[in-house]
Structure 1
Amino acid sequence: MNIYLIIILGSMLAGFVLTTTVSQLNLHALDPALPEQFKDVFEADEYARSQAYTRAGARLDLVEEVLGIIIVPAFILLGGFNVVDMLARSFGLDSIGTGLIFFGLLFLINDLAALPLSLYRTFVLEERFGFNRTNARTFALDKLKAWVLTVAIGGPLAGMVLWFFEATGPLAWLWAWIGVTTIMIGLQYIAPVVILPLFNKFTPLPDGELRNAIEALATKTGFTLSGLFMMDGSKRSAKSNAFFTGFGKKKRIALFDTLIEQMSTEQIVGVVAHEVGHNKRGHILRMTAMGIAKTGLVLFLMSLFLDNGELFAAFGMEQVSIHAGLIFFMLLYTPVALVLGIAAQMLSRRHEFEADAFAAEATGDPEPLISALKTLSVANLSNLTPHPAYVFVHYSHPPVLARIKALHGLKGN
């Protein structure tokens, strides 16, 4: 049997086993006893509802995993990639045009296959627990906009990579790396002012107590803001959040309108201080640099496999091509991606602790952020007792109880 096929199918199966195992451990770790730290904010029935939400989400995730482990290997073994490749070639375009059609067809197949579960998650599961505020029109427009952006941004990016690997010889991976990195950095500047507003309305935070408090925090920490916005997150969900975007002098903070509704000024300042902490502690630049390095590694390794006949034979391909080689390598790369992803999650969790500590120092008291974390957990029906193995594999943030414990430790110093 083809060794590459064994590696790819084996890594898929291993990923499925790992994911389902840690998910079951996570469900068994659900503790019906409300943690002491949340007895002042969580009613018993609401806590039970949060656990029901975790169970419902896990069941849907399991369905998605089972379908994936059936459909994707079947698509490979039944020659689906070769069928798509032949269809792309039937348009009679040059190699780059053919490659773009190949990518587009695979994207469309994958997106349409995922659509039923996406609809169920939004309009059934999220609706059942009171989170969904998306209507059919917004859902459809979001999908259409995502397709347009995929064509407008992903098309030229993929075409550029194909051209580099076709035309620039042994150092094609290096030129592709430079090109991809340039676009990645450019998107960091463009996204806040061009892409994100396609999906949400960003309104400058009005003058008043909250804006004054946040601007005072920014001045105190030496953080230069180019914008402070309220985002209409309630357009799609009752869940709340805040995030930081932009580089250099284009740094922006966006607060969900739901967050502003649910929290006091003091709590929101704690949340914003946490986001500022990511910038001041260099987390954003560090993660960006790591992403760039990872892209270079992937492109270099990819260059070693693009004309590997055995790899193409594993997928039943009639012809070798750069465009198909890119996809096949990414499937072969799956186990490496899993390991690197877990390592990145570990680093991200450490960054969250550091940003929490910065927020406590910047505000002079960890209690506002502790209170905000509790409010967010209640509002979002968060799982308060995740299993460590599940956290290890999936969590980019530490469990909320671990964060609160660390913040209380700072309070005692």
Structure 2
Amino acid sequence: MSAEGLKYLMIGLIMAGFFFDKWISWLNVNQKVPVVPRTLISHLDQEKLKESKAYQKTNYRFSLLTGLLSFVVTLGLIFWGTFGAMDTWVSGWVENPVWQSLIFFGLLFIASDLLSLPFDYYHTFKIEEDFGFNKTTHKTFVLDKLKGYVLGIVLGGGLLALLLWLIDQLGASFWLYFWAVAAFFMVLLNMFYTSWILPLFNKLTPLVEGELKESIMAYANSVGFSLENVFVIDGSTRSTKANAFFSGIGKQKKVVLYDTLINQNTTEELVAVLAHEIGHYKKKHILQSMVLSVLQVGVMLFILSLFVNSEAISQALGGERVAVHLNLIGFVLLFSPISTLLGIGMNILSRKNEFEADRYAKETYAGEPLASALKTLSVKTLTQINPHPLHVFVNYSHPPLLARLEKLELP
């Protein structure tokens, strides 16, 4: 395909992706406020459902505004060849191709972050504040941003530099070597995220001795699950929303409970939540997800290797020469339909795994306390109880609340 044809293909894919995403969101937000289901009467009333709908609509309008701005800016950059002009400017005062690419992406990152920063601030201190979720202070907001920048430069910048160096040295055969590095990094991050990364932002403390810890340990022993590390994360310093997650493999595995979750749920409900997380481990969902993610990265890198030195893609973005950084941008845009399909497939698998983890918790502990915990979590976070089926199919990594309750509350 000619450079001109690729240019308009990219524009067409961006437009198709944007309108498809916003159409699905529109369908979802226009779902009527339902009558309170019988199973939720003890936790929910009609006023809370109306508040949930208001939260959905506010976030929809906000995402529409930010998405539209990003859409217009991206189209403009492609249509007017701005990416190519940036490449010409950078290459005029830096000779090394790796440094050219790093500076190019660095400038894009700075511009993108300056554009998104006011919207991040507004969402945190206006939308989340208005609906009673925000607990982030201005100091925490700034510190989180600064820490994110440092991590982005050290980890993201380091991996990007390695990728660019391998492409420069090995050409199209770079993909196999970088795949090995990426796979190692993904496994390392999974194992040590709660030890190395999370403490930079949140405080993790061991769960104190008492009824909850005794109940958790007793359940873990009953299902043959070796558990030494149960931690509480200070989620309440940023939000009233609650969560729990499982991280790591082998001796590095940890269960992390948000302090907000502990504060709003009974001991039985918390053990049921833990049983669900252990279910993911027992059913090998974590390993499965890791293997699939590594395979996806390998496929993506192989396809990238076919286009990384394409003159047509560079020219489509306004370049006057073959530039790896232009081809990386072009690849991301051209790969977007495949990325969307892969994301849908992973969400289908994830929803299946969530049902399996729920069933494991029900069979090894009890379904009723897990159902009760899900109800509390849903009400506290203003979760939509009747999402549009297409929105669920494309975007949900977890099954809708009522679908989970139906299975948990069956005899």
- Please indicate, yes or no, whether the TM-score normalized by the shorter chain is above 0.5: yes
Q: How does 1:80-95 map to 2 (within 5 A)?
A: 80-92=82-94, 94-95=96-97
CA contact (8 A) 1:173 1:303 kept: yes
Aligned match for 1:237, one of 236, 239, 243 = 239
Q: Which residue of 2 aligns with 1:14?
A: 16
CA contact (8 A) 1:8 1:332 kept: yes
Q: Which residue of 2 aligns with 1:173?
A: 175
| Distance in 1 of aligned mates of 2:315 and 2:326 | 12
CA contact (8 A) 1:384 1:399 kept: yes
CA contact (8 A) 2:192 2:252 kept: no
CA contact (8 A) 1:32 1:48 kept: no
The alpha-carbon distance between structure 1 residues 87 and 263, as it changes in their structure 2 partners (threshold 3 A), is farther
| Distance in 1 of aligned mates of 2:220 and 2:172 | 48
Q: How does 1:141-160 map to 2 (within 5 A)?
A: 141-160=143-162
Q: Which residue of 1 aligns with 2:255?
A: 253
The aligned amino acid for 1:126 is E
Aligned match for 1:187, one of 162, 186, 189 = 189
Q: Shift in Å at residue 87 of structure 1?
A: 4.3
The aligned amino acid for 2:205 is T
Q: Which runs of 5+ in 2 are unaligned?
A: none
Q: Which residue of 1 aligns with 2:400?
A: 399
Q: Which residue of 2 aligns with 1:389?
A: 390
The alpha-carbon distance between structure 1 residues 249 and 73, as it changes in their structure 2 partners (threshold 3 A), is same
Aligned match for 1:335, one of 327, 334, 337 = 337
Give the SS at the match of 1:2. helix
Q: Which stretch has the larger CA shift, 377-386 or 180-189?
A: 180-189
| Distance in 2 of aligned mates of 1:396 and 1:282 | 17
Q: Which residue of 2 aligns with 1:111?
A: 113
Deviation >6 Å, runs of 4+: none
| Distance in 2 of aligned mates of 1:196 and 1:25 | 36
The aligned amino acid for 1:384 is I
Q: Which residue of 1 aligns with 2:67?
A: 65
TM-score after normalising by structure 1: 0.96
Q: Which stretch has the larger CA shift, 123-132 or 303-312?
A: 303-312
CA contact (8 A) 1:201 1:232 kept: yes
Deviations 1:2-31 (A, max 9, x none): 222222111111111211111121122232
Deviations 1:173-209 (A, max 9, x none): 1111111111221222232111100000001000000
Give the SS at the match of 1:240. coil
Q: Which residue of 2 aligns with 1:196?
A: 198
The aligned amino acid for 1:43 is D
The alpha-carbon distance between structure 1 residues 91 and 182, as it changes in their structure 2 partners (threshold 3 A), is farther
Deviations 1:39-74 (A, max 9, x none): 111133222211111111111111122212211111
Aligned match for 1:279, one of 273, 276, 281 = 281
Q: Which runs of 5+ in 1 are unaligned?
A: none
CA contact (8 A) 2:272 2:370 kept: yes
- Quote the RMSD (CA, aligned, Å): 1.4
| Distance in 2 of aligned mates of 1:87 and 1:211 | 60
Q: Which residue of 2 aligns with 1:40?
A: 42
Q: Which stretch has the larger CA shift, 55-64 or 146-155?
A: 55-64
Give the SS at the match of 1:304. helix
TM-score after normalising by structure 2: 0.96
Give the SS at the match of 1:120. helix
Q: Shift in Å at residue 170 of structure 1?
A: 4.3
How many aligned residue pairs are there?
409
The alpha-carbon distance between structure 1 residues 307 and 169, as it changes in their structure 2 partners (threshold 3 A), is closer
Overall identity of the aligned pairs, in %: 42
